[in-house]
Chain A
Amino acid sequence: MSNDLLIKGGRVIDPLAKIDKELDLLISDGKITRIADNIENQDVMQVIDADGKIVMPGLIDMHTHLREPGYEYKEDIQSGTKAAAMGGFTAVACMPNTEPPCDNDSVVSNILEIAQRHGSVKVYPIGAVTKGRAGKQLSEMGEMRKAGAVAFSDDGSPVANAEILRCAMEYLKSFDATIIDHPEDMALSENGQVNYGLISTMLGLKGIPREAEEIIVARDILITNLTKGRLHLAHISTKGALNLIRQAKSNGLNVTCEVTPHHLVLTEDYVWKTGYDTNTKVNPPLRTQEDVESLRVALSDGTIDVIATDHAPHHLDDKWVEFDYAAFGISGLETAVPLVIDKLVIPGIIDWMRMAEIMSSNPAKILGVPGGTLQEGCVADVTIIDPERERSVDPRFFMSKGQNTPFTGWRLTGAPYATIVNGKTVMLDGRLV
């Protein structure tokens, strides 16, 4: 029994089993073996006192950039998964815009091998839809699926055109995987830096209209209707896109979508208020208050399925430059949970059950990976949350190599307390184990 782990006294949340109750959780050999009132602490090797804490199925971030292979100076699988563990995530899916791009099975295998050796949490590679992410020719998605890719995306860019998307969606029916599309009309957004509107006018920066996102969302939904395939839309940021998605869902299409914590919390004004801080430069850009409010509504009404970070770590060299030259992206793994708790759970926009659903159960379901529940016999991926812990965001202490966050100095209530992967504690009380 010495491998056992007992989590005692926490409030257990399980969206699939519909549990919200103070229970104990016993883990053996990487599986949840018992979930009950007051499990006796017999001969258990490790006990975590979860009194006053929230115990939920391990959080899964289905949209990260781990940068390996190719951009290890920004992040690598080791540092990125440490950041995930610190942030309360038991698994991350990583996007294929690496160098070389993850567009064939050997890159997929390579990522999985490195993750096996150096990863703190589970890593699920996402393969490129097209060779070289160039939008011309389908990549060997079947081989990549066999090697362990969980989904397909040309993220960083949209799938190039409606015909490629149609073919990819049809073809993937043989391999049971979802297309994750990055909705951006590249002609409309070309050279854009911030949201199109008063702020772009005041800053003298080229604006990216919300329609750049909505055009591709609309295209993708129409192609999904044509193929009856599966579509997941990445980092939705506008009210108009949500309306299109809401309608697609009510028409019964297999469309899901995600939103990032920063789009739920920040508006374009922040670029202005910080005097062109390049840490506010992100794609899609920070939008208006109206968009933020509709994202929050969509989060509670079910239009949004997932919160994902779009963790985009960058080196200081890529950000400590003129605004137009700075890279897009926010290092998000280590601020996501505190932001979600402080800005969404505590104010009552979502409850703990909904949080577990959109950060664990739904991503597990969309990617077709284990987890998302705490039922007996299931994999022991568990996240424990301290809802009262108050901390200031300080990127100097990030595990991620990317210190690019616009949240420096924010005092946030709520933090991950423990991250447990396959029954093994990888983070406890803010320290990696």
Chain B
Amino acid sequence: MSLQGKDLLTLQELSQEDMELILSTARSLKEILSRPIKKVPTLRGKVVCTLFYEPSTRTRTSFELAAKYMSADTVSIATSTSSVQKGETLADTARNLAVMGIDLVIMRHSVSGSCHFLARVLDIPVVNAGDGMHEHPTQGLLDIFTILDYKPRIKGLKVAILGDIAHSRVARSNIYGLTKMGAEVSVAGPSTLLPPEIEALGVRAFCHPEEAVEGADVVYVLRLQLERQSNSLFPSKREYQDFFGLDRQMLAYAKEDAIIMHPGPMNRGIEITTDIADSPRSVILDQVTNGVAIRMAVLYLILGGRE
């Protein structure tokens, strides 16, 4: 178990071998989710803490359920109701939690690199649940896992990632994870939302989304992060939808059996139309289910529980 006791901060630094270990472990753990009694004793006596400096529905619940299904105890710190409001620093908050006996911290933070910082502060493992515009490694893993539910292998697949690449940690983790496993990744959006020199990460970048979607096996739509936008990145939601949102017309460029993905939460009618989001080709809810399995695998492999 090469991940035992380690941090999971990025997919960029994770070896392909470790990625495949997590994927195969998740594959066997996923079965637990469909049992009538969803509880195995694997992580009994372990305590994991979710420390969220940003709002979250999916990721936080997913991590907590993953821990609970394996009998770990969980505590959740939402900064909106914690001493962070009194001005406590991240380092102090984390150290105080650690001395209460926590075995692992899962953190989401609006500032890129915060999980690296936390890993320097703490001796216990840190799992990145999304740091700013940097990475969201378990999202990348659950997306790859979901693709593999529908496609035989990642190698050679054409994946189009659409939308706000610049502000997206999901895009970065997917780029690193998918290219490592041999996919051909294209990214597209208005050029104001494409970060500089993105092609150096091994992807092709387009400011006409149709060119990225052309012949794609997977069309991955990112959430337009309205909270991170400055005024001048695009003129209006209406115009964004018209030129860059995924609708039937744009989807027609993809392969007929292409699947549609989105990390949630969706801005319906902006980056994706409702008919597509709810169509049979959409695997958006599968992503959510698989997220629990991936996070079970991550916690299991890091905390080194034994069956």
Contacts and interface: CB of A to CB of B under 8 A. Distances in A.
Given A197-B196, A321-B91, A205 B201 contact: no
A43 interface: no
Contacts of B91: 320-321
B133 interface: yes
B8 to A, nearest CB: 14
Contact of A322 (B111, B196, B198): B111
14 contacts: A196-B196, A197-B196, A203-B113, A204-B131, A204-B133, A204-B134, A276-B112, A276-B113, A278-B117, A320-B89, A320-B91, A321-B91, A324-B112, A325-B111
B58 interface: no
Given A205-B112, A276-B112, A320-B91, A198 B131 contact: no
Nearest to B53: A322
Contacts of A317: 89
Interface in A195-210: 196-198, 200-205, 207
Given A276-B112, A322-B114, A323-B113, A204 B135 contact: yes
Contacts of A409: none
B111 A200 contact: no
A57 to B, nearest CB: 43
* Residues of B in contact with A, size category: 20 to 34
Query: 8 shortest A-B CB distances, which residue pairs?
Result: A204-B134, A276-B113, A204-B133, A204-B112, A198-B197, A201-B195, A322-B111, A324-B111
A275 interface: yes
Interface residues of A, number: 20
A358 B198 CA distance: 39
**Most chain A CB neighbours (cut-off 10 Å) among B12, B109, B116:** B116
Given A197-B196, A205-B112, A275-B116, 12 more contacts: A196-B196, A201-B196, A203-B134, A204-B131, A204-B133, A204-B169, A275-B120, A321-B90, A321-B91, A322-B111, A323-B112, A323-B113
A197 B133 CA distance: 14
Given A321-B91, A323-B114, A207 B196 contact: yes
**Most chain A CB neighbours (cut-off 10 Å) among B91, B111, B131, B135:** B111
Nearest to A206: B133
A320 B161 CA distance: 35
Contacts of B172: 202, 204
A275 B133 CA distance: 15
A275 B197 contact: no
A202 B197 CA distance: 9
Contact of B133 (A196, A198, A205, A322): A205
